[in-house]
Amino acid sequence: ALLDKVLQRKRGQPLAMGLIALEMARRLDIPLVGVNFPGHFLLRVPGADHLLDPCGGRRLYPNDCRELLARQYGAQLKLQADHLLTAEPRAILQRLSRNLRQLYLANDEPLAALVDAERVLELGNASASDYLARASLYQRLDCPSAERFDLEHALLLSDDPIQRLRLTERLGHLPPNSVMH
């Protein structure tokens, strides 16, 4: 995510700053892990009673994490233990790919976004929203068969009855798959 610019400016997205900090810590043999906190990538020294914000370096205790979560998503989302779990390298790569996908979409580069959408799925444990994101890219690129494939996968993974209904309706508007022999 433009790591060259982040290094140059010494500012950037939390994930980019966190990746730099993780790599520096690894090279210096300092124990440090990533935390896939909702909306903001954080760091932790294993065993510490706090997290670290890679953008400002400040310590975040549970109340700080609650406040950060409320600023990002509103008071209705409560802090949960899984928000504070160590992020495995695969999960960090998925998060980076999701972020890149959004950056490419914002810059009207759907083919580049598709590469990152594909990477998210290849890394495993994809969610319904990951399949929906790629389906929307295929829709933009006028690939109805690929869009159908991803919508069907999203439908299988979705637990939300309203989302399932919308997916079924969207699938109904697509042309049927044609089989070639």
Alpha helical stretches, state H, 28-142: 62-73, 89-106, 110-122, 128-140
Phi, psi of 19 (to 5 degrees): -65, -40
- pLDDT band at residue 27, thresholds of 50, 70 and 90? very high
pTM of the model: 0.81
What's the confidence (pLDDT) of residue 147? Answer: 95
Angle at 42 between CA 38 and CA 45, to 5 degrees: 140
Phi, psi of 104 (to 5 degrees): -65, -40
- As a whole number, the mean pLDDT across the chain is 91
* Domain ranges, ordered by start, for the chain: 3-84, 89-172
The pLDDT tens digits for 78-126 are 999 999 999 999 999 999 999 999 999 999 999 999 999 999 999 998 9
Instruction: Please give the class, per CATH, of domain 89-172.
Output: mainly alpha
Residue 62 pLDDT class (50, 70, 90 cuts): very high
